């Protein structure tokens, strides 16, 4: 095992966690890696691969065993996302969104009825999506304009969602809408909506710079009807549901970014030992060695921050600031490390013949989704000044 993947003493894993991590690593190398090129070119997830993610228990990691899940921890989800991202960030985000945003939300906020209806399916064959963002509501998430109106015993949803990960494949959507705009963000409510409901449609699929096999779609809500029992949490409490869920989701994105950076750095470490210039391998030049050392140091620091944030949440301790810090720093590190790796490959790094250009493209989204870097800084500052 290389130094990059050796867990340091401070973050020593249990035997169960190590076994789980190694199982995911083997899956990523054996099943995911051979499909990466084809999925990248087609901009679509291989359905057989998604099925395998369910079969080996990656889509319900923290879901209790009585609901068909693995009964694991957030740290285990982090380990899975990191290992998958070191091979393909698109597959990793399928697993990440399912666990940190959809399953996690239902576990914390769902009624007994919603848990009964959906958790076991989400662990076995149902993909979920989290629908908060809108065309005019990105960082200002609580400025959303999707409306929910109570008509008789049904809520009627009208509006448009944008940038929804897993939108093309998901069968269950967590939709955020405002039931009373006069109350501002205190009117926001979360609803569980199944695909196929009349008035619901998946719109444009975005053609993206990176994570191209992961679908990012528009959702159109044109008079969709959902029952009162489909409310997640309480009416008017959707802002709390969104905030707390995104705090967890940021740890997952941190895991994705350290995986992306690790994958690129591992590729570069191999290449610099092979590439000859001026009569010797470029790994023998001190300037190259120092750049690699700096990159590995920053990656290890980012990993420690992500693992720490996950363990804080698992322990029931406050973790909001640590999650924001982990997401902020790991996404910055991923940009720097992948950029360096492209440069170390020289002209080849700019071609699709080698893997680092994909890692470089996949890294950029880390500073944008589930809260931009500026929003993470805002969260950290507020926590510091409380």
Q: Is 370 tagged catalytic?
A: yes
* Contact present, 328 and 381 (Cβ < 8 Å): no
Measured from the Cβ of residue 271, the count of other Cβ atoms closer than 10 Å reads 21
Q: Any bridge partners for residue 216, and if so which?
A: 165
* Contact present, 361 and 209 (Cβ < 8 Å): yes
For 102-125, give one letter per residue: b (16+ CB within 10 A) or e: bbbbbeebbbeebbebbbbbbbbe
What is the distance between the alpha carbons of residues 172 and 196, in angstroms, rounded to a whole number?
10
* Contact present, 235 and 186 (Cβ < 8 Å): no
Q: Rounded to 5 degrees, what angle do the CA atoms 258, 261, 266 make?
A: 120
Q: What is the DSSP code string of 130-144?
A: EE--BTTBSSSGGG-
Q: Which of 334, 336, 331, 337 is nearest to 366 (CA)?
A: 331
Q: Give residues with Cβ within 8 angstroms of 12, minimum separation 6.
A: none
Q: To which H or E segment does residue 165 belong?
A: strand 154-165
Residue 345 has which token pair? 């490959």
Helix H segments across 97-205? 104-109, 112-124
Q: Which of 88, 123, 373, 368 is nearest to 256 (CA)?
A: 88
**Beta strands 200-205; 276-277: pairing state:** unpaired
* Contact present, 63 and 107 (Cβ < 8 Å): yes
Q: Rounded to 5 degrees, what angle do the CA atoms 155, 157, 158 make?
A: 150
* Contact present, 179 and 160 (Cβ < 8 Å): no
Q: Helices 373-384 & 320-344, crossing angle to 10 degrees?
A: 140
From the candidates 17, 169, 300, 370, give the one annotated as an active-site residue.
Answer: 370
Residue 362's Cβ-side half-sphere holds a number of Cα atoms within 13 Å equal to 33
**Active-site annotation, residues:** 370
């Amino acid at each position: 095992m290389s130094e990059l993947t050796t867990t340091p003493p401070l973050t020593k894993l249990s035997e169960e966690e190590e076994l789980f991590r190694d199982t995911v690593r083997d899956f990523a190398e054996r099943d995911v890696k051979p499909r990466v090129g084809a999925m990248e070119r087609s901009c679509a997830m291989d359905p057989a691969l998604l099925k395998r993610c369910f079969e080996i228990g990656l889509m319900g990691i923290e879901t209790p065993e009585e609901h068909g899940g693995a009964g694991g921890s957030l740290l285990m989800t982090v380990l899975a996302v990191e290992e998958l991202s070191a091979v393909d960030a698109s597959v990793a985000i399928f697993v990440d969104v399912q666990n940190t945003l959809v399953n996690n939300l239902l576990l914390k906020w769902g009624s007994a009825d919603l848990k009964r209806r959906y958790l076991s399916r989400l662990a076995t064959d149902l993909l979920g999506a989290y629908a908060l963002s809108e065309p005019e509501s990105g960082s200002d998430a609580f400025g959303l304009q999707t409306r929910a109106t109570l008509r008789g015993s049904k809520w009627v949803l009208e509006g448009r969602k944008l940038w929804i990960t897993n939108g093309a494949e998901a069968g269950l959507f967590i939709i955020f809408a405002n039931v009373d705009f006069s109350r501002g963000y205190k009117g926001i409510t979360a609803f569980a909506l199944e695909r196929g409901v009349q008035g619901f449609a998946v719109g444009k699929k975005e053609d993206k710079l990176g994570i191209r096999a992961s679908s990012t779609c528009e959702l159109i809500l044109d008079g969709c009807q959902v029952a009162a029992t489909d409310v997640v949490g309480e009416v008017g409490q959707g802002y709390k549901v969104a905030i707390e869920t995104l705090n967890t989701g940021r740890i997952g994105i941190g895991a994705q970014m350290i995986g992306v950076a690790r994958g690129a750095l591992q590729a570069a470490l191999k290449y610099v030992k092979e590439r000859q210039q001026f009569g010797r391998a470029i790994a023998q030049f001190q300037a190259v060695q120092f750049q690699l050392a700096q990159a590995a140091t920053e990656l290890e620091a980012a990993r420690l921050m992500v693992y720490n944030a996950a363990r804080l949440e698992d322990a029931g301790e406050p973790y909001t600031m640590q999650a924001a810090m982990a997401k902020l720093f790991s996404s910055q590190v991923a940009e720097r490390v992948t950029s360096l790796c492209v440069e170390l490959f020289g002209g080849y790094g700019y071609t699709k013949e080698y893997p680092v250009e994909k890692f470089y493209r996949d890294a950029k989204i880390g500073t944008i989704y589930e809260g931009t870097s500026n929003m993470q800084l805002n969260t950290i500052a507020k926590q510091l000044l409380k």
